[in-house]
Amino acid sequence: MNHSHLPIIKLAFNHTLPILAGFTFLGVAYGIYMHSLGFAPIFASLMSAFIFAGSMEFIAGSLLLGVFSPLSAFILTLMINARHLFYGISMLEEFKRVGIKKYYLIFGMCDETFVINKTATVPSDIDKGWFMFYVTLLNHCYWVCGATLGGISGNYITFNTLGLSFVMTALFVVIFVDNWMKENNHLPSIIGLMTSLICLIMFGTKSFILPTMIIILVIFIVFKSPLEAKVRESQ
């Protein structure tokens, strides 16, 4: 490995340490879940490596055992992961500058990776493209390793995974608080919080994410110039 990449990998690893804990636990739970459905450990490993879609992987296990319906699977996947459309739009400028790495960055983008790559402050001597690449790769590896471990240990470990998904909720709270403390102007964060709260009240816990993302995107597009001016004034 090129030694010049070691500082980048170290920085990416430091940023992804919380993800390591969360993805390992959830990956193990996923591997055990796949084992409980009757799948060999290799299925958990391959699905986590090539699908890499978090909650969709849990659903995919059930879909594989049900009636073959590719259209239903497509619509369900689109509904669950529609938020990634907005992640991609907000990362367009970043991905234009990273060359061929963008193809893996697009494939490997998940909620946690998006948050880190979008909000992390990267030193001027660190290549941002390689930093995003290693953040994506490390998070991908955490998930695959956790799922593989869970699939292999499924014969020996059984536990109630109820509530385990809250690990990721807590992780996002920590990331948000950390980002809040680094901000000079909290207006974008406040807009996100208020929009989420209003949509949560209007649409309920199961349907609020997509309208929240749409409204936030529209607000930031329409009011881009005044928002950027406010942020610059506070710096």
Judge whether residue 47 has pLDDT over 90: yes
Q: Is the pLDDT of residue 120 over 70?
A: yes
Average pLDDT, the chain: 83
Indicate left, alpha or beta for 88 from its phi (over 0: left) and psi (-120 to 50: alpha).
alpha
- DSSP class of 184: S
Q: What is the pLDDT of residues 129-163, one digit of tens each?
A: 999 999 999 999 999 999 999 999 877 766 665 66
Determine the average pLDDT of the residues in 173-179.
74
Main-chain dihedrals φ then ψ at residue 65, nearest 5 degrees: -95, -10
The answer to whether the beta carbons of residues 36 and 58 sit under 8 Å apart is: no
pLDDT at 163: 61
Predicted TM-score (pTM) of the model is: 0.72
Calculate the CA dihedral of residues 139, 87, 213, 166 and round it to 10 degrees.
Answer: 0
pLDDT recorded at residue 235: 59
pLDDT band at 61 (very low <50, low <70, confident <90, very high): confident
Q: Using pLDDT thresholds of 50, 70 and 90, give the confidence band for residue 167.
A: low
Segment 65-86, tens digit of pLDDT: 877 778 777 877 776 777 787 7
Alpha-carbon 89 to chain mean position: 15
Q: What is the DSSP letter of 223?
A: T
Mean pLDDT across the stretch 54-70? 80
Q: Is the pLDDT of residue 185 over 90?
A: no
Of 166 and 202, which is predicted with more confidence?
Answer: 202
89 versus 131: the higher-pLDDT residue is: 131
Position 133 scores a pLDDT of 96
- Tokens for 124? 């001027």
Using pLDDT thresholds of 50, 70 and 90, give the confidence band for residue 8: very high
Rounded distance between C-alpha atoms, residue 217 and residue 220, angstroms = 5
Domain ranges in the chain are 3-163, 183-235
Q: How confident is the model at residue 188 (pLDDT cuts 50, 70, 90)?
A: confident
Which has the minimum average pLDDT: 7-16, 20-29, 91-100, 210-219? Answer: 210-219
